[in-house]
Chain A
């Protein structure tokens, strides 16, 4: 259908809380990516799924970050025990496969207070 969607669009969490961010990719896109974008910087890769398989999680900054895509469609990025340095925009992107352009969702702006 339409483009990549993400929810919530904005999230405020108190330090120490757990958060879950959702991504709905473009229908039929097998590849799904999570990026983190700090203010004034370019997006940085977090993790990558091909269908339900998490093929690369090298960009996850700590073991507090966890991502899943159990049925090869919707993905959830979970951050446990949030810290102030986790404040950023979390972008999800999908593509039809390797070597094909990625399309980004609107992002979730996470603010940890």
Chain B
């Protein structure tokens, strides 16, 4: 049974700070990982994908993958109140299906 674990939060950070969201996964064979953002009452919206060890940057977002430690993280720089949402970590299994964590709720306070 594949598992993806996230701290449910809420994670509270002040506006302008760096938010750090973490995720661990159980399947050592997993190759592809995704971060989705989900606003309350809305569907998940893809933010980042990462396939290789190391960092991947896109604007204010940086995804980090460490396959040896089975650990994925998302850093949000210069956090804005509009970043307040639930962030879902997902790994891709055979057949392209995604296994999601329970999500971390982020609150950015003005």
Contact = CB atoms under 8 A, between A and B. Distances in A.
A102 B102 contact: no
Given A42-B100, A42-B101, A42-B103, A48 B95 contact: yes
Interface residues of A, number: 27
B96 interface: yes
Contacts of A98: 95-96
A43 B97 contact: no
Interface residues of B, number: 23
Interface stretch (A65-73, A74-82, A104-112): A104-112
A45 B99 CA distance: 7
A56 B95 contact: yes
A99 B44 contact: no
A44 B100 contact: yes
Interface in B83-101: 88, 90, 92, 95-101
B98 A45 contact: yes
Given A42-B4, A102-B98, 5 more contacts: A33-B98, A55-B95, A98-B96, A104-B36, A106-B43
